[in-house]
Amino acid sequence: MKKYTYQITGLDCANCAKRIEDALNKQADFKNVVVNFSTSKITYETNLDNSLQLVNKIVKDLEPGAKLIYQENTKSEYHLWIIILALMSFIIGNFNFPLSEIFILIAYIILLFKPLEKAILLLIKSKTINENFLIVISCLGAYFLESKMEGVMVVTLYLIGKILEERALNTTRQSIKDLLTLKQDYANLKKRDKLEKIAVEEIKINDILIVKKGEKVPVDGIIMDGNAYLNTSSITGESAIKEANVGDLVYSGYLNTGDIFSLKATKTYENSMINKILELVETASNRKAKTETTVSKLSRYYTPVILVLAILTYLLLPLLFKVSYHDSLYRALTFLVVACPCAIAISVPLAYFVGLGVSSKNGILIKGSNYLDNMSHLNKIIFDKTGTLTTGNLEVKNLEILTKDFTKQELIDIIFAGEILSNHPIAKSITKLKKTKDRALPVQDFQEVEGKGITYKCLNHKIKIGNQNLCGCNEIADLHVNIDNKHVATIIFQDEIKENAKEVIQMLKKQNIKTYLFTGDKKDKALELAKKLDIDEIYYEMLPTDKYAMYEKQEKEKDIIAYLGDGVNDAPVLKRASIGISMGTIGSDSAISVSDIVIMNDNLDSILTSIKISKTTNQLIKENLIFALGVKIIILILSLFGLTNMWIAVLADTGVTVLTILNTLRIKIK
């Protein structure tokens, strides 16, 4: 099935988006439909060649004002000048002259036109009602009860609230869209002595590209000539300038602040770092947290229930108390106004949306609000070792050659030929053994064996480089080199603990989060590291299958466990974990693709930052829900006893909505 993404306009609420999403998912021709109210986007998969027309028909039947378009629509449905025009007409109508009532009617028509249109179309096409219907009934009721001023102010404040909601949503949407400017639209392709400007999508692996000062790196690649000074803030969230030299790998999205340099593309744009980030950012809001899903489901029943309660209020008050039907109707209309669900329906998804945006700006890509939500409930975290708790900048401490069949340089050339094809941090360290920049020897049948090492053929030799299980060796070493089933060399590495690793572990413990170490390292190295960092439980000499099995043993009911890793061997556990967290810069493609959170700056502090953002987001959601429901319940009770009026009701409704939105926008963490 082919995947399609369109802008969707005219959505009034998260409930409207949910209704469209559910209806399309029930269609046999459509799969994985997601309607994202926060980003105003719809994505779906289908085999139909011309699906847009059919989807638009289904959408319009459910939500008459909604429409799918190719380009983003920045036009507002609500305009302040229309409200001002209506109020001027109403003011004129309040002067007593023969045609004054006409001006009042014109004011009502202007103000109610958009809500009435939406309410009628929705009622006819989908047999449902929403807050537009409640507002229209309340205003018309106020008019016929001779409370014309209150009726006008109800719809006026409602429309002003809609404008403020729209602007708040657009502000948060823009914070996400700012990230989408990371892409360099073109690349300078070097062809002999000429430069040709091409689209980044046309770049092929091994193309030589020229990156000028002020340009972004178009795709991931290796510097071939020149020294680079790169601003990595767009990817990592950190503003420090990174120096890169010949042979260093740099990522797409980095901004060149120094002199011109040449780059050899190691990936196409589709597989480059920047495209992965853009895909994650654009789809992050599609995976919804439990709170968001619950609020969305309840919203569809909320409005009809409120309408029924308002009718019961009108009918029962005169029977139970000494209240006239005139007063009873007024109280019922007031009940409708204050009960509008805008504040609740908007503030929850908006809070998660803002939280995801703030995380992205801090170099933390979270693939869904459900994972953002879970970070605040974390009670266990499992760390891989190399590249996670340690720098991953391994250095070969000793290369011991055990045979006279090869010279040291010949052996290094053979080792280099295979390791240059691997993305594992250990492989990158081994390749530094080769000092010259000439081409690698040709390799056939290259294969990475998860958790063990690599195998390949080179110069008609069968090569194995890895642990004891792969090479069948008994010597104590970090890696073994086996050529034609003969043990020819051992390699010893040294690695450094990350500067802030111990501090992060201590901070996690203070939050009652239990820490684990899962590593394939030898017992002595694992115990030494765990002791230095004061990790609670240590497991060593583990294969990927061992890590997976041990994870399942640690998982108890209601546990939220994060697994932090970066290698191919971590991928199974990253996918299985409650929250899989990978390192974005040194992490393997497979680890990044299956993880739920990607730390772009490889900084362990980002774990604490993500927990803080999660807790702040959840706290603001609780505040908004308690505040919105509390105010509404109080005003509802007062309206039943005739102790309030429509002015207070509409101020409570619109005011609560605006205040919850403003409260949500406070999620700013750096």
Give pLDDT tens digits for 601-641: 778 999 999 999 999 999 998 998 899 889 888 988 888 88
Do residues 349 and 660 lie in contact, with contact meaning Cβ atoms separated by under 8 Å?
A: no
- What is d(CA 61, CA 53) in angstroms, rounded to the nearest whole number? 12
Superfamily name with CATH number, domain 395-494:
Calcium-transporting ATPase, cytoplasmic domain N (3.40.1110.10)
Active site residues: 384
Partners of 581 in beta bridges? 564, 597
Q: Is the pTM of this model over 0.75?
A: no
CA angle, residues 75, 164, 62, in degrees to nearest 5: 60
Greater model confidence, 179 or 140: 140
Q: Is pLDDT above 70 for 236? A: no
What percent of the chain has a predicted confidence (pLDDT) above 90?
A: 22
Q: Once rounded to an integer, what is the mean pLDDT over residues 311-320?
A: 90
Q: Is pLDDT above 80 for 275? A: no
Average pLDDT of the residues of the chain: 83
Q: Is pLDDT above 70 for 522? A: yes
* pLDDT of 547: 87
Do residues 287 and 256 lie in contact, with contact meaning Cβ atoms separated by under 8 Å?
A: no
- Quick check: helix, strand or coil at residue 434? coil
CA angle, residues 629, 630, 632, in degrees to nearest 5: 65
Q: Which residue has the tokens 């229309």?
A: 82
- What is d(CA 213, CA 256) in angstroms, rounded to the nearest whole number? 5
What percent of the chain has a predicted confidence (pLDDT) above 70?
A: 87
pLDDT grade for 416, boundaries at 50, 70 and 90:
very high
* pLDDT of 514: 94
Partners of 483 in beta bridges? 463, 486
- Quick check: helix, strand or coil at residue 264? strand
- What is d(CA 314, CA 309) in angstroms, rounded to the nearest whole number? 9
> 320: how many CB neighbours lie within 10 A of its CB?
8
Q: Once rounded to an integer, what is the mean pLDDT over residues 101-115?
A: 92
The encoded tokens of residue 380 equal: 């266990």
Q: Is pLDDT above 70 for 105? A: yes
Picking from 367, 344, 351, the residue whose alpha carbon sits closest to that of residue 294 is 344
- What is d(CA 334, CA 214) in angstroms, rounded to the nearest whole number? 59
* pLDDT of 556: 82
pLDDT grade for 445, boundaries at 50, 70 and 90:
very high
pLDDT grade for 642, boundaries at 50, 70 and 90:
confident
Q: Say which CATH architecture domain 185-282 belongs to.
A: Distorted Sandwich (2.70)
Picking from 141, 154, 162, 153, the residue whose alpha carbon sits closest to that of residue 91 is 153
Q: What is the four-CA torsion angle of 321, 323, 324, 330, rounded to 10 degrees? A: -120
b/e for 338-368, b at 16 or more Cβ within 10 A? bbbbbbbbbbbbbbbbbbbbbbbbbbbbbbb
Greater model confidence, 662 or 203: 203
- Residue spans of the domains in the chain: they are 2-69, 82-184+284-378+560-670, 185-282, 395-494
Question: Exposure of 3 by Cβ count < 10 A (0-12 exposed, 13-18 middle, 19+ buried)?
Answer: exposed
Detail the DSSP E strand segments found in 540-627. Answer: 561-565, 579-583, 597-599
Element (H, E) at 363: none
Going by DSSP bridges, is the β-strand pair 597-599/579-583 parallel, antiparallel, or unpaired? Answer: parallel
Where is mean pLDDT largest: 167-181, 223-237, 592-606?
592-606
* pLDDT of 461: 93
CATH number of this structure's domain 2-69: 3.30.70.100
* pLDDT of 457: 94
**pLDDT tens digits, residue range 459-499?**
999 999 998 888 888 777 888 999 999 999 999 887 788 88
- What is d(CA 28, CA 31) in angstroms, rounded to the nearest whole number? 8
**pLDDT tens digits, residue range 359-396?**
877 888 888 888 899 999 999 999 988 778 887 667 78
Q: Is pLDDT above 70 for 286? A: no
Greater model confidence, 111 or 648: 111
Picking from 311, 301, 426, the residue whose alpha carbon sits closest to that of residue 19 is 301
**pLDDT tens digits, residue range 15-55?**
677 788 888 999 989 988 888 776 678 888 898 878 888 89
Q: Once rounded to an integer, what is the mean pLDDT over residues 448-457?
A: 87
Question: Exposure of 2 by Cβ count < 10 A (0-12 exposed, 13-18 middle, 19+ buried)?
Answer: exposed
Rg from Cα positions in the chain: 31
* pLDDT of 614: 94
